[in-house]
Structure 1
């Protein structure tokens, strides 16, 4: 992001806004975490059923939703992810040696992208929370990882962009995902992630088509002078492979940073140590899901490392939050399910995502291709793997 040399005051004010917002966000996070532990979620049960008077349940639902893209769906992992993201952003600002990958698709717009995503998550949950019933789950987390952060990355920082991104994400992504889950996935017995991710790309197509005609929105991509996906010569290093695989755990939230991923995993492991049934919707399959994600992340980066070197980015994270965990949940966490879901997902899902993204117009963020790949690959791969003897428990 460029700055104006002749206006140092504006740059200073921008940094002050970021630090004040970060401080207020940190205070809010502490309050939410304290509330989270007071509420408890030891059994992995649904923590909110759409009753707006239940403020504690709603707050816990929101912080839990932050780690739901990874299937963890536990508040401690969501809270720790935000803390890790803040550390990663500070490390980038301070140019630490071990700052890790730059967040928000390499733009450094983490405060704007994360803030817009959290606002969109809150608005979407309030707007569509009435669809919940006791024991009935709905994919209300989808605004967090779809339209809002992607629009900020494409259109740039600023309150107008951030608010527009948050509102359009909350309006379009949740109903599309809810409809896809209820009308397609449940009748056809497909993994629910197929519906959730389908709603993301459907809602994004509507939102990105609409905002092009809004007079207050800038030209897409005009805010930055250079692309973030420059070739990285370090991709030959084994350390880079391990770092990239770890960062892929949080790429879905547009964090994609080692600090963020490590913090989230610590929060998830601590929650598992306290109550093993509290994660992955009470299935008890957290360790199997984590193993599948680790295998698919590492395998994907190794297989597609040259694409990373050539393009500066390659969507190796796609099976980490789709094919691999969906296969585990579908077939009970057997060893064949863990390994086959991870390996096949790493081989097929990233190139499918890249192929779709390359064909999108410049006014559409490439994440649309990523989530479309999640939908298509999960809908095809999981049923096919179920035909192999020994995969199902």
Structure 2
């Protein structure tokens, strides 16, 4: 009898565990997405910069830790095995086919809209002599220039311009401008789900140095935008005091200090015969303190309602800000208002802007 009871107890535990596993929300971010990084349709003269941009996009996607990145080399190997050629001019139909071959869920298409480099005059620094001359602007200079002198001057200027055609006048102050469009394509449906533009520019240095700085700026901007493509959505699986455990970790590229918003459970309601889902409301903010492989510990740093197991947590795109106000008055005559705005108030190092206005009366009542 005891043996049958233990067997029955084991079956109950197994069934409960199975049911709990089935209750995991499909909207949770539990695994990495496979994404192909491909250049779009770019003109022949932009192929070199397109390769550089595509490499940066692939590197940043790997660095984020939320994607299984299939780069151009892997795709070309797949196509080579299929005895096909990859020309570099890729349209959306080809991307769908290539993505299917590479077993990718989505593809990031990188198109170069504008790319240019040119020398620009460096900012002129005024000398003391020039500043003194500016003070004498009231003294009008008169030029007595004959027609013969004017013709000679124009001829010399035209000759110099023709000689310097194709010669960079400011080789050590190059302005680089890169404007790109990055789109997220659904491989299965062939629909472009999202896209955004990034413009990076830099002025200074020679051609190579200016391009390198502009590419660094592009990489920083792209990394911020890419995170928005795949924000982490999880749930609270354990709570003890102001400590919670959430179902995600380093396997999804999370770091300590990341801030999540805790939300109440969604509610289903019937409206005019149709079942609708009412999204949960924000009830707390939590900061990751210990990141494990697939679970993480977090500390509740702000709470408006009680946090319970099963509540959803969503990664915040930007760190929250905080404001602080203080009003002081004395004897009804002296009045002071202090205001303070904090950027990233929950970080170890934060920044604040403070302002103060008020009135005061002296002994004369003024």
Q: Shorter-normalised TM-score: what interval?
A: under 0.3
Instruction: Give me the TM-score of the superposition, normalised by structure 1.
Output: 0.21
Structure with bigger helix share is: 1
